[in-house]
Amino acid sequence: MSGLATSWAALVLSIIASIAGQALLKAGAGAGDFRAQLLDGRSIAGLAAYAGAAFLYMLALRQLPMSVALPFTAVSYLAAAGVGYFAFAERLNLAQMAGILVIAVGVIVLATGSAGDPGA
């Protein structure tokens, strides 16, 4: 796998780890008080997932421009809304769904716009 392909893989894995961290922190939020939440295994795993996401993001930035990598992480907003809806029964109103659509279009434009750029 080339360095660029490895960087894209690291970015995708970073996004997945970040989403997992979000879900685990949300699950840990069900613990009693804040101290219990901090010590809850799900919260600890969520923080570990975030740390893993940060390391993977660092690897991605070795080859990818930050102007591409950072906006591409907006995919996590889409996934987090889906996880919240399906796993935690959180409702989405029309304005939130419109915002998710705008983010999705932005990610598509970013991905297709950088595909032919040798610097990306």
Cα–Cα distance for residue pair 118/116, rounded to 1 Å: 6
| Residue 92 pLDDT | 94
| Residue 32 pLDDT | 85
CB 52 within 8 A of CB 46: no
Single out the residue of 120, 108, 116 nearest to residue 8, CA to CA. 120
| Residue 70 pLDDT | 87
Q: What is the pTM of this model?
A: 0.84
Residue with tokens 């996934």: 79
Averages of pLDDT over each 10 residues, the chain, 120 residues: 91 97 95 92 97 98 90 89 94 95 88 62
